Amino acid sequence: MVAIGGLLVVASAASAQGTFDIPAGATFSQDKLARIGEFFRKEIADKKIPGAIVLIQQHGQPIYSRFFGVRDVATNEPMTDDTIFRIHSMTKAITSVAAMTLVDDGKLALDDPVSKYIPSFATVKVGVEEKTDNGDSALAFTPLKRPITVRDLLLHTGGMPYGFYGDSLARKVFGAANIYVGDFDNAEFAERIARLPLAEQPGTLWDYGYGTDILGRVIEVVSGQSLLAFEQDKLLKPLGMTSTRFFVTDPNQTRLIAKPMPGDADFKVGFESEPDIFRKWESGGGGMVSTMADFSRFAQMLLHGGTLDGRQYLRPDTFADMARDHIGRESGVARDDLYFPGDGFGFGLGFAVRTEPGNAKPPPPGSLGELKWDGASGCYFIIDRKQDFFVVLMQQTPSERQRIQQTLKRLIYEALEN
């Protein structure tokens, strides 16, 4: 018997092992899914989170759909399907799919140099940490061995790490560069990043950072539209994602915005704008807001391999390329201690891909080929094509997010039965 999120759950090493790569065709036990509600109600009672929404949809039908708590403890308004959440890095999946539609249309190639679209990237240097004569560390600047490519932007192998965590000198340069000052647009943001030294040579290390933001600017250059306008035309409007955007500009909708607990409002992303205050910057890496009603449509499209309701958003071979691991052992791409996809996961073109059990004993739950990603606010999605289901979790809790995501996933897979 073990404690999971305050619940006592009977488990053995064998049963826990069984939550990884369950044979296809499993169904959900509603009795076991009920533990999810027990878990979230306790989190809310303990004032860890204001509320959350959980949707599990299998074979095109909702298997589990629950609304817990409130979207704002100040107003006490309940969670609803149209509650608006900051999804932070789940934005990356939308931007990545948008970019791949341009690949499908022959307007963009994965091996194109980024400098083809943003010329200032032709002259970037790599910052190499070296010891000075007095024993201090300093950056020396060396030329690129090869250009940064569009593929690097999708894979986070372009050497442009976030500067708000980690202690390498290159990260500190990014952190101290004041790249968020003023009311800038995507074009100016790309120029600011291009003036900084890369943390490593392109294609050598999975280094989570600004690549998807730069990808958003590439989309603008290729399409001749703003990032949002292009995404609305190609994805959001056709999918029926009418509430997914970068800012909530309608005053009548601001009451729908979910808020974290009052003492849990630091999303720790280096820069935080309020979703109801318009800015020029449309961050393709982390700036969107969405709803459960909207994001579940996107998740269902991914589960169907790039199609939904008879409309093809991505060619089958394009989706297959997105959904395979590009940074495995034979790729030459290294992983450092800040490798966010986690144990057993590689990385595709925009999200993590489950490739193996991993090193933990027993292995974390899931299926081979599973796709997933999350954001700093705690929003999270899982695409399990083997079992034909997806999970979307909507919440706003930067401090509790990983613990809650891990517990939710374990409870979900423990509810699967052959």
- Give the model's pLDDT for residue 268: 73
pLDDT less than 50: residues of the chain: 1-16
Max CA pair span of the chain: 67
| This prediction's pTM | 0.94
CATH number given to 2-93+225-417: 3.40.710.10
Q: Are 54 and 64 in contact (CB under 8 A)?
A: yes
- Give the model's pLDDT for residue 3: 44
Nearest to 355 by CA among 374, 340, 341: 341
- Give the model's pLDDT for residue 134: 84
Nearest to 94 by CA among 202, 232, 203: 232
- Dihedral angle, C-alpha 367, 368, 371, 373, nearest 10 °: 70
pLDDT tens, residue by residue, 42-59:
999 999 999 999 999 999
- Give the model's pLDDT for residue 165: 74
- Give the model's pLDDT for residue 17: 56
- Give the model's pLDDT for residue 413: 98
Q: Residue 101 half-sphere exposure, CB side, CA atoms within 13 Å? A: 20
Cα 129 to chain centroid, rounded: 30
- Give the model's pLDDT for residue 408: 98
C-alpha radius of gyration, the chain, whole number: 21
**What are the residues facing 68 on neighbouring strands?**
52
| Rounded CA separation 177/194 (Å) | 12
pLDDT tens, residue by residue, 56-94:
999 999 999 999 999 999 999 999 999 999 999 999 999
- Give the model's pLDDT for residue 274: 87
Domain ranges in the chain with CATH number 3.40.710.10: 2-93+225-417
Six-digit token string for 92: 């990356």
Q: Are 404 and 41 in contact (CB under 8 A)?
A: no
- Give the model's pLDDT for residue 72: 96
3-state SS of 99-139 is: HHHHHHCCCCCCCCEHHHCCHHHHHCCEEEEEECCCCCEEE
